[in-house]
Amino acid sequence: MLGRRMLGRSGVGVSPLGLGGAAIGGLYEPVGARRAEDTVRRALERGLRYLDTAPHYGLGRSESRIGAVLSGVPRDGYVLSTKVGRRLRPLRPGEPPDPQGFADPPPLRRYWDWSEGGIRACVEESLSRLGVDRLDVVYLHDPDDHEDEVYATGYPALAKLREEGLVGAIGAGMNQTAMLTRFVHRLDLDVVLCAGRYTLLDQGALGDLLPECARRGTSVIVGGVFNSGLLADPRPGAPYDYKPAPPDRLRRARAIARVCAAHGVPLRAAAMRFPLGHPSVAGVIVGCRGPEEVDDNADLFARDVPAALWPDLRVTGLLDPAAPVPAKEPT
């Protein structure tokens, strides 16, 4: 079983490798309920005790499928995070679906609600879908166009839920670092979820977010360690940030893969392990759409990564010289 790393001063600890819930919500392609639930069970068996989800993922499907499994698991056997900002409502007559990348969507629609009442209602709705009475972590989800609302109502509402004990740790999750850095500077956050900006391919978070997190004692969870797929399979047409990878990113990913291969290390193994070298990073999450993908990721995460790999990436200009590198074994 993987050990736990604490999130700031919250008292909440996560496994260094966690399960991201977007894939089992049907991101890009459908996943049946039984297969999704088997994926969650396998993750818990393999030590991926940190489960991250959101109402956005499959319009509630991800949360409901995780909840179906957790009903038979002791509450101290997992750490659970979800997100607020997007709520769900039934489609109106004649209103078209808005899948936003999720296959076969149910007849629901997302809408933004950053009000104090909306944040509380979003948490309560997630608790119902998940079948639990408290949440370990709640993130403000993708507030790129809602920064003022976060300061005015979103964050205060979430902080109040933390004070009440309904939520253990609070944070924000985004695909950019600039706003996350401002949040860490201005707000009392336990953790941030940074997607795609601290990977083997993109170490942008080193310039702003990670130094501010270190200064404030805020933990970081890294999502998107494969940059939407390019670091999983660097082939022409592979996605980077949810779009076809530009030629320069494809060339760089292939160069990283060649250095990894020279050390006998699968690219995905290095990609999962790299972020954990930074002392502010508490864990990484990976999406899996079947039990066999859980096994594959867990096995790769446990692989030995030779210490010589990291300086070879640096000397070829493929890794920022300022990036801390991981210890030999994940803990």
Residues with a known catalytic role: 57
Structure tokens given for 200: 């083997």
10 CB contacts (<8 Å, ≥6 apart)?
168, 169, 190, 191
Segment holding 100, helix H or strand E: none
Report whether 54 contacts 24 (CB < 8 A).
no
124 CB contacts (<8 Å, ≥6 apart)?
none
**What's the number of CA atoms in the CB half-sphere (13 Å) around residue 74?**
2
Q: Is 115 left (phi over 0), alpha (psi -120 to 50) or beta?
A: beta
Report whether 86 contacts 57 (CB < 8 A).
no
Q: Closest Cα partner for 40 from 59, 56, 60, 20? A: 20
Report whether 21 contacts 10 (CB < 8 A).
no
